[in-house]
Chains A and B, each alone.
Chain A
Amino acid sequence: MNTAHKVQIPERKAFLREQIIKILPALNGKSFQMVLSSNLNVADCTRQTGYVCMVDDVLYVIEAEAEKAHYPLKDLTEFHANSGIGEVSLECRHKDRLLVLCRGDMSHQSEYATIAKRLNHYRETGLWDPQYDKTYNRYCPKCGRKYRHGSNICMHCVDKKKMFARIWEIASPYKWTLFLSILLFLVITGLNMINPYINRVLVDDYITPHAVGAFSGFCMVILSMLLLHLAIKGISIFRGMALISAGNKIIVRLREMVFDKVQMLSISKISKRTAGEIMQRVTGDTAEIQNFVVYRLSDIIEQSLIFVGISIMLFVTDWKLALMIILPIPLMSLSFRLFWNYINRIYHRQWVIGAKANTILHDIFSGIRVVKAFGMEHFEMEKYDRVTYEESEISARNEKFYSILNPVVNFFMQSGEFFLLFYVGNAILHGDMTLGEMTQFSTYVSMLYSGPVFLIANLQRQMTRLFTSVVKVFDLLDEEVDISDSTDAKNIKIEGNISFDNVHFGYDDATEVLKGINLDIKPGEFIGIVGKSGAGKSTLINLVMRLYDVEEGAIRIDGEDIRSISQECLRSQIGVVLQETFLFTGSIYDNIAYAKPDATREEIIAASKIAGAHTFIMKLPDSYNTKVGERGHTLSGGERQRISIARALLHDPRILILDEATASLDTETEKQIQDALQQLSKNRTTLAIAHRLSTLRNATRLIVIDKGKIAEVGTHEELIRMQGIYYNLVMAQRQMSKMTHDNDRDAKKPAVS
């Protein structure tokens, strides 16, 4: 069923070709221009393997092991992928009728979308874009399972040895510290092994009824025991210090690596992951690795040494007894593990419901205004009560279960010692063993049972946790930096000319947001961008900032393709104010000075004044030193926006981008800022997006974007005369403001574009 997926490009292409030739032998030896597979029946959407291929500009559709139809490419137009919720189909127009070529489940989504694009391109230009091979190369070559979106590690076939090598790569600068701590381990283990022996000497030679040793010897033994303990404790302190210092260095290094990587990645790579996920990788997963290197690894070494050491000692003393002790260990580990697995299972349920209760709490507290405004306090209280009650029920049941089962398991685990006691006691009675030997023996046994048994039982779980973290961290570290500076990236001084040359772009393969934008902006122009929500306005400016790279065509600044300008140079000369303003934790001063830390206080005040922020800042008790952001002073939407305008102005950019920058301001304030901006924008290029058209009245040119294309370009007057989309928008807004003579603050809340 899935075999078609299990082969990778170009092997996959070859595999599909073979399958097709089996069904249509006539195509053997011909060159295939394109192949793709389908796994759903076109008519009734049931599972069925099929293929589509193109040979000599003829498309063959194969379904149910037979040719269903073939169409000359010249009869087919308008290829597109139509995605439902659980299926996707490749559709086109055959002469005048709509036609479904093939259908597949969602795993075919990007494949069909890409092929549709390429087929259209081929039909129009006669050229076959080789790029299409890359896009759906998402199968693991080893097991054929699909990679996670945006990842290039197959979690299923991760090479553990390689992962250990990667961990070592990070730990290696600290190898001497680690080596030292392992050496200290050896010493401690050795000393620990001596202790039972001294015990034996003490018992056998000095404190039995027929003791032969002298009192001075007795004192020596006690003294040596004391020294031994002192030595062990002293060395332990050193070991701990060595380990902690190595561990801290490792985690700092790892976090730096992950953090730097995240900063390097483009928005498109980052936005594939949630902020929480990245936080987890920077903090949680790196901590897990540190935890392993510092504690688990040393644990494993220590316990293995103890295990080997004690086993040797036991076998030397009495091999029969040793076998009796060591043979049950795997069995005990296994039963202990089963017990833990069961306990985990029942506690998992408790954890799930606990998390649910937390979510409810979080919801209530962060939405407390809504809860109170709708008078839903009682409803929320009941909801929370119900969950906590459920949680307490489960918890009580689990505790009861645990308190019954735990002693039982412990009893069984310790029952071995009774057998031992019986055997050893018997040996002593028969004079085969001394009391001291018994003490030594039982100390070894308890050391063995308390350490290695637990270790073996838990080892696998710990390793799984480690590998989960390691894989996740390296998955991120190995992420290819997709928007990178070319080796000969230039640093230029931007004049402000921006030209779009047939720009195509989509956030994913399936949907194209911008479909061929052509535009030339002269330095110093104020360009207003208008259009419906979702038309592609914000996308356009994201491309200018090069948060994403264009798919087709090019954006040039002063004649240079922005891909050949270094990113730092580009962004340092672009100032941006977005609708969602983000203030970092810190003072207002810090926030304004963010992009220009060496700005003078005077400059900051001037920028604030132009942005219309100075007046309200000076009304705050702490003025520019007011703390904002998390746990700081709460500012209104308009105030935050003015601070971010000041931030952008201070940056003194050659290109200023305003994405709904003044949307949360009242018209009065907006006008003031607009006028100030106009003064400033005389020799800088400004791109402004606004829904409220009055915002753009200073614009030298307006651009109307509709469905990913530029629909209208011109000055306000020209566009009004055209009586097109812009005209309708203006009329609608005029009507609106006529109806509500109020400030248009209430009249029109702009939608997020």
Chain B
Amino acid sequence: METTTTPTVPSSAFGAVAQIQYLDETNAQFHEENGFISLRATVLNTETNQMEEKEWERVFLHAAFPFDMPNAYISVLDKDQKEIGMIRELSACEKETQEILQRELARKYYAPRITRILSVKERYGFSYWNVDLTDAKDFSFTVQDTYRSMLKVTHTHIFVNDVDGNRFEIPDVEALDRASYKKIELYL
């Protein structure tokens, strides 16, 4: 899941009008405790129109482009899901911050990768999968309406959504072994 392009600073008049608060090393510090991220940041108070330093006991992250830019344009939200600001590019952050944020993102967007497909059985509009995952062997899950449950990021990069809402990633279907590929070829 590499970032394809480096985001650039918006040059149009848009940026100023939209007033998106970008968080970086200069105005924000992230801390992790007990698995929760807290934030101390200097942001614009829209009511007083003043820059203020504030603290949040817990913040949430949400990627703007989770499929093609998972590590850029990360929204930082407070507990009411109100946006505090955005992080333009994780790699531009300090190493420690980067690790904290990356860990949180990996957790939130937990999607084990499928390394091998053992079987896909189609039955009455459902398909029953048995696969090897990066973190489990011979794992089974159920997919409804198989064709439509395959989320295609590109021709070869897909996510499979199961009935529970879990996601399983296949970063490159062509990199799968021949037998695995044949089992899902029909749905691609």
Contacts and interface: CB of A to CB of B under 8 A. Distances in A.
Given A86-B167, A148-B144, A1 B123 contact: no
Interface in B96-137: 103, 106-112, 123-126, 128, 133, 135-137
Nearest to A91: B36
Interface stretch (B8-16, B22-30, B85-93, B158-166): B158-166
Contacts of B165: 106, 109
A106 B34 contact: no
Given A97-B34, A98-B34, A471-B124, A87 B144 contact: no
A155 B123 contact: yes
Nearest to B139: A1
B124 A155 contact: yes
B124 A146 contact: no
Contact of A348 (B35, B128, B186): B186
B58 A84 contact: no
B110 A40 contact: yes
Interface string A466-483: 011001100000000000
Nearest to A86: B110
Contact of B135 (A47, A100, A345): A47
B128 to A, nearest CB: 7
A109 B108 CA distance: 13
Nearest to B128: A156
Contact of A84 (B103, B110, B135, B186): B110
Interface size grouping (class) on chain A: 35 or more
B57 interface: yes
A107 B133 CA distance: 17
A107 B168 CA distance: 13
Interface string A604-637: 0000000000000000000000000000000000
B145 to A, nearest CB: 9
A155 B125 contact: yes
Q: Which of B128, B162, B166 has the most CB of A within 10 A?
A: B166
A47 B108 contact: no
A42 interface: yes
Interface string B151-188: 00000000000111111000000000000000000100
A668 interface: no
B164 A468 contact: no
Interface in B136-154: 136-140, 142, 144, 147
Given A2-B140, A156-B123, A85 B163 contact: no
B66 interface: yes
A468 B124 contact: yes
Contacts of A299: none
A742 interface: no
A109 B109 CA distance: 15
A85 B80 CA distance: 17
A149 B167 contact: no
B166 A42 contact: no
A44 B103 contact: yes
Contact of A148 (B33, B106, B163, B186): B163
A85 B186 contact: no
A148 B126 contact: yes
B166 A86 contact: yes
A743 interface: no
A348 B36 CA distance: 48
A751 interface: no
A47 B164 CA distance: 16
A503 B105 CA distance: 36
A436 B167 CA distance: 68
A406 interface: no
Interface in B52-110: 57-58, 66, 80, 103, 106-110
A472 B58 CA distance: 45
Contacts of B137: 1
Contact of B186 (A86, A97, A345, A464): A345
Contacts of A464: 124
Interface in A517-549: none
Contacts of B135: 46-47
A147 to B, nearest CB: 8
Given A42-B35, A44-B103, A86 B111 contact: yes
Contacts of B163: 146, 148-149
A99 interface: yes
Given A46-B135, A107-B164, A85 B66 contact: yes
Nearest to A277: B145
A158 B107 contact: no
A468 B139 contact: no
Nearest to A96: B57
Contacts of B112: 47
Closest 8 CB pairs of A and B: A84-B108, A86-B110, A106-B165, A107-B164, A87-B110, A47-B135, A468-B124, A45-B107
10 contacts: A2-B140, A40-B110, A44-B107, A84-B108, A86-B108, A86-B166, A87-B108, A98-B58, A105-B110, A156-B123
Interface of B: 33-36, 57-58, 66, 80, 103, 106-112, 123-126, 128, 133, 135-140, 142, 144, 147, 162-167, 186
Given A84-B108, A98-B34, A145-B140, 12 more contacts: A2-B140, A47-B133, A86-B167, A87-B110, A98-B36, A100-B34, A100-B35, A100-B36, A106-B166, A107-B166, A155-B123, A348-B186
